[in-house]
Amino acid sequence: MAFETIIVEIEDHVAVIKLNRPDALNALNTQLLGELCSALEDADGNDKVRCIVVTGSDKAFAAGADIKEMSEKGFVGVFFENLFARTNDRISAIRKPIIAAVGGYALGGGCELAMMCDFIIAADSAKFGQPEINLGVIAGMGGTQRLTRYVGKSKSMDMNLTGRFMDADEAERAGLVSRVVPAKKLMDEALGAAQKIAEKSLLTTMAAKEAVDRSFETTLSEGILFERRVFHSMFATEDQKEGMAAFLEKRQAQFRDK
Ligand code: HXC
């Protein structure tokens, strides 16, 4: 499928999806969000893909939902359209691991998109924020919910109420991002991490993602039970036999996703 607002490349089992509306700092308009969801679903269903990286440009991962497109909408319209609900659901339904490689601005919907990925690797140029408050609205795709789970109430309130930006170092200290690297090394670092994930059994990386995600949805005891059931089920796989045999034989495991 030909895309106009994103660029997709698949190499060495990693799909890289680059947001590509440079004139609008990758503002997330309907077309871009539709293409992004389709590309993610394609990658999820493609046997050659074992990990996905979503990235933007040096200046902006994404500067938010497209304000021009939203500005004329009214309540009844956005209610019936259920603005951004489908995007949230489609991205949340992706089962393969997704890394966000963030350089420059990740604001509003851009920050929310990064948080919907499984983890964030940031360039030292990255700036995160939920500035919707300056536009007379609030976050609409997880900025009050996911951000609070990532960084806690105090910082989330600060970001959502003042609209201030958080730089990469603060984002790392707060637990929003897993690593910060010099801007020039961002893609090398993200692709290196993706490659490491791609080497594992896809059965186990998908199971691990599912289990970590449960921790956001349930109590500790239910989450631990879910984890234990999935852990036990792994012993029915050939990859568990291979992984443990390879360790004992001091060789590299050859996983076959079985
Ligand atoms: C539409 C945008 C945009 C956006 C930037 N542009 N952000 N267009 N929607 N969110 C456009 C500008 O209009 C401009 O177009 C071009 O990109 C370059 O932007 P500048 O402002 O000239 O760049 P700069 O001075 O470097 O400032 C960068 C910036 C600023 C700080 C990131 O652009 C900014 O504050 N953007 C808006 C950030 C924001 O409020 N995001 C939240 C959106 S609401 P022209 O044509 O003039 O050159 C949201 C709701 C989420 O995300 C709901 C769920 C998805």
| pLDDT 10s digits, 36-71 | 999 999 999 999 999 999 999 999 999 999 999 999
Looking from the CA of residue 65, the nearest atom of ligand 1 is 52
Residue 73 falls inside a structural domain:
yes
According to DSSP, residue 173 is labeled: H
- Dig out the tokens for 52 from the structure: 């996905």
Distance 104 CA to ligand 1 centre (A): 12
Residue 1 falls inside a structural domain:
no
Same domain, 90 and 161: yes
Give residue-wise pLDDT tens across range 9-27: 999 999 999 999 999 999 9
Give residue-wise pLDDT tens across range 194-210: 999 999 999 999 999 99
Same domain, 179 and 220: no
Same domain, 111 and 65: yes
Range of the domain at 154: 6-198
Contact 26, 56 (CB under 8 A): yes
Structural domain count, the chain = 2
Distance 110 CA to ligand 1 centre (A): 10
DSSP state letters, 68-129:
HHHTT--HHHHHHHTTTHHHHHHHHT--S-EEEEE-SEEETHHHHHHHHSSEEEEETT-EEE
pTM: 0.98
* C-beta 132 within 6 A of ligand 1: yes
Same domain, 166 and 240: no
Same domain, 105 and 159: yes
Same domain, 183 and 222: no
How far is it, in rounded angstroms, from Cα 14 to Cα 53?
7
Distance 68 CA to ligand 1 centre (A): 9
- Dig out the tokens for 6 from the structure: 């994103």
Which residue has the CA at smallest separation from atom 32 of ligand 1? Answer: 63
How far is it, in rounded angstroms, from Cα 120 to Cα 180?
9
Residues acting as catalytic residues:
65, 109, 112, 132
Residue 256 falls inside a structural domain:
no
